Amino acid sequence: MDLMKYSKPFALAAILALVAGCGGGAATQPTDEEEVTAEEVQTSDEDSAETAGAAEEEAANAEAMAEEDAVERPEVMTIYFDFDKSNIRSEFYEDLNAHAAYLQANPDSKVVLEGHADERGTREYNMALGERRGNSVQRYLSLQGVASEQMEVVSYGEERLAVRNASTSEEHQQNRRVEFVY
């Protein structure tokens, strides 16, 4: 499934904004004829609600056009985040694009984006962090054209660890995640 297929100028600008906000690692992202100014980049990153609203309409169109066939549910159901961060790492764009394609091809399917944190730090702060991670994924998928009714973010903070009693940085990493629950 080609990312470009559903890209509309505004959505694309915002995708680039997300990428720009992530600070590098975006070499594989497509460029486009649409010029994006630095100012627009900032605005669209922070005004997520409006952007998502605009993307909703687009998503509706995209949905109508989406082919119902042959898009399989992606195998990768979890993506990971850095400590105290909620930006999407570039290595996961491909996985997210696959989920976007699946959701668009299956407009009746719904996904809960479960945001999680590792157990370091405080529970309510981690609850907020988990939600931000879920929102980052939701925003990205929304910009790909996924209808907002198909997605819901629930943060569990550090209440549902993938690895209990994590001590190494690899183990902590396993806990800082967003899980796709279809």
Partner 1 sequence: MILKPRKRVWWLALILLVISFNTQANLTIRITQGSDKATPIALVPFAWRGSGALPEDVARIVADNLERTGLFAPVPRENLVSLPSEASEVIYRDWRLLDVNYLLVGSIAEEDNQLRINYELFDVVSQERIFGETVTAKRSQLRSRAHFVSDRIYEKLTGQRGIFSTRMAYVTAEQLSGRADYQFRLHVADADGQRSRTILTSREPLLSPDWSPDGKKLAYVSFERGRPAIYIQEVATGSRYQLTNFRGLNGAPAWSPDGKKLAMTLSRDGNPEIYIYHLEEKRLIRVTHHYAIDTEPSWSPDGKNIIFTSSRSGGPQIYRVNLQSGNIDRLSFEGNYNARARYSPDGKEIFMVHRESGGGLFSIAGLNMDTGRLRTLTTSPLDESPSVAPNGSMVIYALMQGDQGVLGVVSTDGRIQYELPAERGDVREPAWSPFLN
Residue 16, CB-side half-sphere exposure with 13 Å CA sphere: 20
Q: In the set 13, 19, 41, 48, which binds partner 1 (CB under 8 A)?
A: 48
| Residue 46 binding partner 1, by CB under 8 A | yes
| Residues of span 89-148 touching partner 1 by CB under 8 A | 119-125, 127-129, 131-132, 135
Kindly state the smallest distance separating residue 165's Cβ from partner 1, in Å.
4
Which residue, 104 or 135, is less far from partner 1 as judged by CB? Answer: 135
Contact in structure between 170 and 111 (CB atoms under 8 Å): no
Q: Which stretch binds partner 1 (CB under 8 A): 22-30, 35-43, 44-52, 89-97?
A: 44-52
Which one, 89 or 160, has the nearer CB to partner 1?
160
- Supply the minimum distance, in Å, between the C-beta of residue 155 and partner 1: 7
Per DSSP, the three-state class of 150 is helix
Bridge partner residues of 179 (DSSP): 78, 114
Smallest separation, CB 172 to partner 1 (Å)? 11
Shortest CB 60 distance to partner 1, Å: 21
Stretch that binds partner 1, among 5-13, 25-33, 41-49, 88-96 (CB under 8 A): 41-49
Q: Extract the runs of DSSP E, i.e. beta strands, from 95-176.
A: 111-116, 151-157
Q: State how far the Cα of 54 lies from the Cα of 43, in Å rounded to an integer.
A: 14
Determine the Cα–Cα distance for residues 91 and 97; give it in Å rounded to an integer.
Answer: 11
Burial class (CB in 10 A: 0-12, 13-18, 19+), 131: buried
Q: Which two tokens stand for residue 48?
A: 């997520």
For 111, phi then psi, to 5°, come to -130, 140
Report if residue 31 touches partner 1, rule: CB under 8 A.
no
- Binding residues for partner 1, rule: CB under 8 A, are 46, 48-49, 84, 119-125, 127-129, 131-132, 135, 153-157, 159-160, 164-165
